Amino acid sequence: MNWRFAWWLVAVAWLAPACLHAEPVRIGSKQFTESVILGELARATAQQVGVDAVHKRQLGGTRILWRALRQGDIDVYPEYTGTLTHDLLKHVAADASIATLRAQLKPLGIGITDSLGFNNTYAIGMRNDEAARLGISRLSELAKHPGLRFGFSNEFMDRKDGWPGLRQRYALPQTQVRGMDHALAYRALASGAVDAIDLYSTDAEIPYYHLRTLTDDRHYFPRYDAVYLYRLSLQQRAPAFVAALRNLAGRIDQHAMQQMNAEVKLDGLAENVVVAKFLGVHAGSGQHGLWSRLLQRSIEHVQLVAASLGLAILLAIPLGILAARLRRLGQLVIGITGILQTIPSLAMFVFMIPLFGIGAGPAIAALFLYSLLPIVRNTHAGLVGIAPELRESAAALGLPQAVRLRRIELPLALRSILAGIKTAAVINVGTATLAALIGAGGYGQPILTGIRLDNISLILQGAVPAALLALLVQGLFEGIERWLTPRGLRIQARK
Amino acid sequence: MPDSDAVTSSPFAIRHASKRYGEVVALDDLSLQFATGTTTALIGSSGSGKSTVLRLLLGLEWPDRGQVLIDGRVLQPAHTLPLRRRVGYVIQEGGLFPHLTALGNLALLPQQLGWHLERIRDRAQELATLTHLPHAVLARYPAELSGGQRQRVALMRALMADPDALLLDEPLGALDPVVRHELQDDLQRIFERLGKTVILVTHDLAEAAWFAERLVLMRRGAVLQDGRFEDLRDRPADDFVRRFVQAPRRLPQIMR
């Protein structure tokens, strides 16, 4: 291995820890518009009382937010009472009051505000014309039409208070039930791809798409009063903020919430603008230009890729060397890294949350695991592929094994190793767009928001830079490869 | 068989060595010793085990049974590094490392021995003169050298640290006849001048007779006959030796 390669390794490893810095009050939100608006409202409220706060938007589903709050990765997030009683807390009556919930949450170190003023319960909706044609206005009437196709949000499909219980309560016979993203479900319904979807009763789309909300005539759905959950330790850290958060109770009614949802989803206003309007203040800070946003995301994205790749190089090259030395172990190592590669990326990111919390940590860990296989495999292949007479000449010269590895075997395998690193880097650039799902930012952020808001231009704001970065990385590594490949090997390759 | 005193007097000896690769017998209870300062040619058809003898003497392979003796002491894996540094080894295609220049190849072992650059360069030029290699060639990469130049550099690499012995495995096997003839002359001159113990593996009887006073004809891992060329020619030990000696066609025979 020559010194240039060594320097390059050092440079990559040096970029790795750049993602760690101290944080102010951290507010989380789930991956749907209302939750993001309420998260933004909490941030704006903190700002009003002079508390430094950041909003980690659309971190994912309930489980991820709840776990992040319990582990202290975030300090506050908006939640609904029905989710607490049915999904998160055990041994709680379905109609438990907020006071009961507060007592239950206290031992967990978590506080709860009073209801913000609206009940965003689940509902089932159909296109108005279709419902009228079939004569359906109540949930119990669905049972008479077994051929109806349902498209439910993935979370609703699995929750105890979602589809399984609903089917039981109303004895619904429908078998064509698909899970899909909530934002996309409206389009599926409008286009006639499905006949009924789950709704949140404050969704802006209900009037927009002319939907009929079916009456819950057997009182299946519980109340979903919006509240903020916060870590009780926040009362010491930022008492003014907690007081301000509590003051928001009762301030937002059903209509106000539906209005804010509509302004974001249908009118295309930014969440912070909508929230500022609601609070009657100016939306000054927090609103960055396209270029500074792009720069910020690029930094985040490159850091994710560089850190995970740097760590992977540090482990994968020694693993590849070991695999080339010890045949049995080699097969095992390549087998294990190969299995890691087959884990779906979304699952991989979520697996990392219990170990590393949310944010850049678990994203780097997941990308790191993905990077291992190409580098291990190419290091192994490069070393094993060295002509036996060269390996034997090196041994017969009387060079110790470590010197043979450094001066002869690694330089001869360098091309293959670099090709492995290049593959890993390009895969990482693409896969890192999913890291936004667990709060790590990057180019995935506008893609997620774009999907949520059904906004193609936002999706492109993430997808285009990600594609360009992948090309850039590809080109960069080809340059590095040319620069590092010993001249003698290039001459040999030409002949 | 020579007694143990005789064995201890030679720097390289193999005693009752057997080795097989799966079903293939490479060495079959073989005993050989090589006296200091002599040139020995191991000949025989491919698969006769002659290369295995060299690989055993370098500790690149180990016998299933029997021993390798270096200066009368049984060779152990821990001894191979110092042994290899006092023995130069050249193989058919030279085994030059393509990522290093000729000089870079020559410098590998001396650098390990802690020589400074000046000394390495001086020694390389000294050997270039000895092997008739133009000095400018030292800066080139193996892919930029001719076949003959490559073998000269490989020989120089083997000689850099002034070893006691040279082990050469078909060193001229891949060269065209003209270059081969030229190198045969040069090699013989070098052997004579350096007076080292040389063990040469070749399948070419004429080449063996040209270089070595002692020829060891091997077949199926055992020695068929061990003697001077004249012994093999005039008093062949068996029918195979006779056929081996008579096999090369001579031009007059073909022209007739």
A225 Cβ contact list (under 8 Å, min separation 6): A80, A81, A82, A98, A115, A116, A118, A119
Q: Which residue, chain included where needed, has tokens 């909300």?
A: A213
Written as one string, the DSSP assignment of A268-331 is: ---HHHHHHHHHTS---TT---HHHHHHHHHHHHHHHHHHHHHHHHHHHHHHHHHHHH-HHHHH
Token output for A238: 């930022």
Q: Are residues A413 and A318 in the same domain?
A: yes
Q: Is the pLDDT of residue A21 over 50?
A: no
Residue B13: pLDDT band (50, 70, 90) is: very high
Mean pLDDT within A306-319: 95
Question: Smallest Cβ distance to A492: which of B82, B91, B98?
Answer: B98
In-domain check, residue A16: no
Domain C-terminal end among A259, A279, A299: A279
Strand partners, A481: none
Chain B CB contacts of A492 below 8 Å? 98, 141-143
SS3 string, A45-111, reads HHHHCCCCEEEEEEEECHHHHHHHHHHCCCCEEEEEHHHHHHHHCCCCCCCCCHHHHHHHHHHHCEE
Report phi then psi at A357, rounded to 5. Answer: 75, -150
Q: Are residues A83 and A98 in the same domain?
A: yes
The secondary structure of residue B189, as a DSSP letter, is: H
> Per the CB < 8 Å rule, is A397 touching B157?
yes
ipTM over 0.90: no
In-domain check, residue A13: no
Question: Dihedral of CA A217/A218/A220/A224: which sign?
Answer: positive
How many whole angstroms separate alpha carbon A479 and alpha carbon A484? 9
Query: Higher pLDDT residue, A227 or A58?
Result: A227
Q: Is the pLDDT of residue B6 over 50?
A: no
What residues of A are in the B interface, CB distance below 8 Å?
Answer: 389-390, 392-400, 403, 407-408, 411-412, 486-489, 491-492, 494-495
Instruction: Tell me the pLDDT tens digit for each residue of A208-256.
Output: 888 998 989 988 888 899 999 999 999 988 999 999 999 999 999 988 9
Q: Distance of CA B56 to CAs A479, B13, B32, B59, B171, Å?
A: 44, 10, 12, 5, 18
Please say whether the structural domain B1-86+189-256 has been given the CATH code 1.10.10.10. Answer: no
Q: Are residues A109 and A136 in the same domain?
A: no
Instruction: Tell me the pLDDT tens digit for each residue of B55-92.
Output: 999 999 999 999 999 988 899 888 899 899 989 999 88
In-domain check, residue A57: yes
CA A422 to chain B, closest CA, distance in angstroms equals 22
Question: Smallest Cβ distance to B101: which of A389, A396, A488?
Answer: A488
Token output for A356: 């590393």
How many whole angstroms separate alpha carbon A264 and alpha carbon A205? 11
**B60 reaches A (C-beta below 8 A):** yes
Report phi then psi at A74, rounded to 5. Answer: -130, 165
The secondary structure of residue A386, as a DSSP letter, is: S
pLDDT score recorded for residue A107:
94
Domain that holds residue A164: 122-213
pLDDT score recorded for residue B256:
55
Query: Which secondary-structure segment (H or E) carries B98?
Result: none
> Per the CB < 8 Å rule, is B93 touching A389?
yes
Closest residue in A to B86 (Cα–Cα): A398
Q: Which residue, chain included where needed, has tokens 């890192």?
A: A432
> Per the CB < 8 Å rule, is A395 touching B99?
no
> Per the CB < 8 Å rule, is B142 touching A486?
no
pLDDT score recorded for residue A230:
96
- Amino acid identity for residue A431 in this structure: T
CA A66 to chain centre: 14
Minimal CA–CA distance to A299: which of A441, A113, A178? A441
B126 Cβ contact list (under 8 Å, min separation 6): none
Residue A340: pLDDT band (50, 70, 90) is: confident
Q: Which residue, chain included where needed, has tokens 């025979």?
A: B253
Report phi then psi at A76, rounded to 5. Answer: -145, 145
Q: Are residues A128 and A43 in the same domain?
A: no
CATH number at residue A462: 1.10.3720.10
Residue B7: pLDDT band (50, 70, 90) is: very low
Chain B CB contacts of A400 below 8 Å? 81, 112
| Model confidence, pTM | 0.74
Q: Calculate ∠ Cα B88-B93-B96, nearest 5°.
A: 65
CB B56 within 8 A of CB B42: no
CATH number at residue A260: 3.40.190.10
> Per the CB < 8 Å rule, is A397 touching B108?
yes
- What percentage of chain A's residues is helix, strand, coil (to nearest 5)? 65, 10, 25
Chain A CB contacts of B157 below 8 Å? 397
Q: Are residues A346 and A480 in the same domain?
A: yes
In this structure, the number of other CB atoms found within 10 A of the CB of residue A75 comes to 26
How many whole angstroms separate alpha carbon A376 and alpha carbon A65? 35
Q: Are residues A346 and A264 in the same domain?
A: no
Q: Is the pLDDT of residue B8 over 50?
A: no
Q: Are residues A402 and A460 in the same domain?
A: yes
> Per the CB < 8 Å rule, is A491 touching B93?
no
> Per the CB < 8 Å rule, is B97 touching A403?
no
Q: Are residues A69 and A195 in the same domain?
A: no
Token output for A122: 């689940």
Q: Are residues A40 and A164 in the same domain?
A: no
Q: Are residues A169 and A193 in the same domain?
A: yes
Q: Is the pLDDT of residue A465 over 50?
A: yes
pLDDT score recorded for residue A282:
67
A469 Cβ contact list (under 8 Å, min separation 6): A298, A301, A302, A429, A443
In-domain check, residue A6: no
> To the nearest 10°, the Cα dihedral for A182, A185, A190, A193?
180
- Amino acid identity for residue B64 in this structure: D
In-domain check, residue A249: yes
pLDDT score recorded for residue B2:
44
**B171 reaches A (C-beta below 8 A):** no
Query: Which secondary-structure segment (H or E) carries A16?
Result: none
> Per the CB < 8 Å rule, is A488 touching B84?
no
Chain A CB contacts of B141 below 8 Å? 487-488, 491-492
Mean pLDDT within A340-363: 84
Mean pLDDT of chain A: 87
CB B125 within 8 A of CB A475: no
Token output for A216: 């819950």
Q: Is the pLDDT of residue A78 over 60?
A: yes
In-domain check, residue A219: no
Structural domain count, chain A: 3
- Helix axis angle, A182-190 to A444-453, nearest 10°: 40
A52 Cβ contact list (under 8 Å, min separation 6): A24, A25, A46
Q: Is the pLDDT of residue A22 over 70?
A: no
Token output for B102: 């000729």
Q: Are residues A369 and A457 in the same domain?
A: yes
The secondary structure of residue A405, as a DSSP letter, is: I
Q: Are residues A298 and A204 in the same domain?
A: no
